[in-house]
Amino acid sequence: MSLQGTWELSFLVDKDGRILEGRGACNEHLGLNLQSLIGRSFFSFIASDERSYFRRFMGQLNRPRAKRAALVSLQTTTSLRSYAMEAQAGRTADDNWLMFTRDTGGAEGLDDLDLPVVMADEGQFLRLVELAASQASASLDLTTIEVGGLSDAKKLSALGSEEIAAFERSVGETLSGTAHEGILSNPSRGLYNLLHDPSKSSAAIAEDLANVAGRHGISPAQAGIAHATMSVAPNTSLSNIRESLGVMQKRMPSYQSWDEPAKQKMSEGQIAAALGIAAFLLGVIGIVFYMMS
């Protein structure tokens, strides 16, 4: 399906979903003028139950066989409308044009596409949380969850690699579906960060993962699920979000901070130099004491 020449609305968005440019009758379709849309997250105009799928759609656009067309529901000031959407190459590798038309014939829904779960890197995750908080009307929850069976290979040693991979995929799918606008990261194996609605607590999310583990024949002890949550108020700063995330991750059993540099071992040359300096200083001290006596 190609919408070229028939689109009614289009937006240039960056990899975080932020609107950079727009064309078309924005007032008619979204109830807002173009100037007020620049800088906003386009996710706020996607139907809430489609946002996690839209995040996955956006995250796979740089792949060779990316899905580039889908049926989406856009939220106007008064109602939801269905549009056929096509993603086209933007001006750089980090942005894309999203083209929309109300001619929806033949388009597949976002949830019908076989889309991979998208895990943001830590820098992008922090930006996405900040952007979501800047547009939220109420507090959201920021949760860190560790699935010990994935972070500690000994816990699932009785399972084969394919069984473990299937469990890991199920964990990602479950968390992606729960995350606010699909905002999810996986800084190390078995460790996940997600932004989500407070109406579903971290304990409830952990219970969902325990049920997932059970369906894969994994006991609670093998799954080893730990979690911690902090609230993110509207307009919370990036530095405060980073600090909260760091506090929670440090509570996880196997946490290692991504911004804590690894301790470097001294080389043989450095050790020899240090010993030489120490011997010299001891010699100077010995001479001083000799002269004083």
Note the pLDDT tens digit of each residue in 177-193: 999 999 999 999 999 99
**For 48-89, how does the pLDDT look when each residue is reduced to its tens digit (9 = 90+)?**
999 999 999 999 998 888 999 999 999 877 789 999 999 999
Residue 272 pLDDT greater than 70, yes or no: no
| The pLDDT value given to residue 46 | 95
Q: Give me 288's structure tokens.
A: 């001083």
The per-residue pLDDT for 121 is 93
pLDDT value of residue 282: 73
* pLDDT on residue 79: 84
pLDDT of residue 267: 57
Contact 133, 238 (CB under 8 A): no
Give the model's pLDDT for residue 293. 61
174 against 292, higher pLDDT: 174
Query: Using CB atoms within 10 A of its CB, is residue 254 exposed (0-12), middle (13-18) or buried (19+)?
Result: middle
CA distances in angstroms from 160 to 17, 43, 155, 196, listed in the order given = 38, 38, 12, 32
Q: What are the CA-CA distances from residue 181 to residues 4, 98, 99, 133, 291 (Å)?
A: 28, 17, 20, 12, 76
Span 78-105, mean pLDDT?
92
More confident residue, 278 or 41: 41
pLDDT above 70 for 260: no
Choose among 119, 205, 214, 224: nearest CA to 167.
Answer: 214
Query: Which residues neighbour 168 within 8 Å (Cβ) at sequence distance 6 or greater?
Result: 150
Q: What is the pLDDT of residues 107-122, one digit of tens each?
A: 789 989 989 999 999 9
Instruction: Please tell me which of 72-81, 113-122, 195-204, 258-267 the model is most confident about, judged by mean pLDDT.
Output: 195-204
Is the Cβ–Cβ distance between 109 and 165 less than 8 Å? no
Residue 151 confidence class, pLDDT cut points 50, 70, 90: very high
- Residues 6+ positions from 273 with CB-CB distance below 8 Å: none
Of the candidate ranges 41-45, 250-254, 262-266, 284-288, the one whose mean pLDDT is the lowest: 262-266
Arithmetic mean of pLDDT, 199-204: 97
Is a pLDDT exceeding 70 seen at residue 3? no
Decide if pLDDT at 1 tops 70.
no
Which of 73-87, 94-108, 235-249 has the highest mean predicted lDDT (pLDDT)?
A: 235-249
pLDDT at 166 over 90: yes
- Position 76 scores a pLDDT of 79
Q: What is the pLDDT of residue 257?
A: 43
Tokens 């999203």 map to which residue? Answer: 98
pLDDT value at 136 more than 70: yes
CA dihedral 62, 64, 65, 66 (to 10 degrees): 10
Strand, coil or helix: what is 101? strand
Q: What is the pLDDT of residue 286?
A: 67
Question: Residue range 218-229: average pLDDT?
Answer: 96
Cβ(184)–Cβ(120) below 8 Å: yes
